[in-house]
Amino acid sequence: MEKIKKNSLDELDRKILAILMKNAKTPYAEIGKQLFVSAGTIHVRMKKMEKMGIIKGQVLLVEPVKLGFDICAFLGIYLERNSLYDEVASLIEQIPEVVEAHYTTGIYSIFVKIICKDTRHLRSVLHDKIQRIPGIQRTETFISLEESINRAISL
């Protein structure tokens, strides 16, 4: 992937990103109107930022609770050896309840976010899936009581 230089984005690119990070459904024509350029210019800039790896994709955000997933938990994973990270991460990726995974500094080797239907489902994911992965020494689980902030970076 192309290395991104700090100055590789101009002001128009940053304004496009700022608009879309507030509302990803904003049509290119509307963005063009706001920024006094054509929809075609917006399209070209978006393609450029995708090619540069700045825009990784587009996702649909859903409210898990409204779909019956009432538990959000974070899991600190201790590995037997940090050299096992790649193997363990590839197995963790196959667990659908894991929605984020991070290789970290500090006391945990890996920190993951899990979404489950209830505590029984969480227990099953922990016991039957995660803790059976070779190379995981032990885990610590933190259940989220409320998400206070969830936002994109500010440009």
> Which ranges of 52-125 would DSSP assign to H, the alpha helix?
85-92, 119-124
First to last CA, the chain: 22
Q: What single DSSP character describes residue 148?
A: -
Q: Spell out the per-residue pLDDT of the chain, length 155, in tens.
A: 444 454 589 999 999 999 999 899 999 999 999 999 999 999 999 999 999 999 998 888 899 999 999 999 999 999 999 999 999 999 999 999 999 999 999 999 999 999 999 999 999 999 999 999 999 999 999 999 999 998 888 88
- Burial track 115-130 (b if 16+ CB lie within 10 A, e otherwise): bbbeeebbeebbeebb
Q: Residue 94 to residues 44, 129, 133, 134: CA-CA distances in angstroms? A: 35, 10, 11, 14
CA-to-CA distance for 122 and 104, rounded, in angstroms? 22
pTM value? 0.81
Are 6-51 and 64-144 the same fold in CATH? Answer: no
Domain ranges in the chain are 6-51, 64-144
Is the domain spanning 6-51 CATH 1.10.10.10? The answer is yes
CATH topology of domain 64-144: Alpha-Beta Plaits (3.30.70)
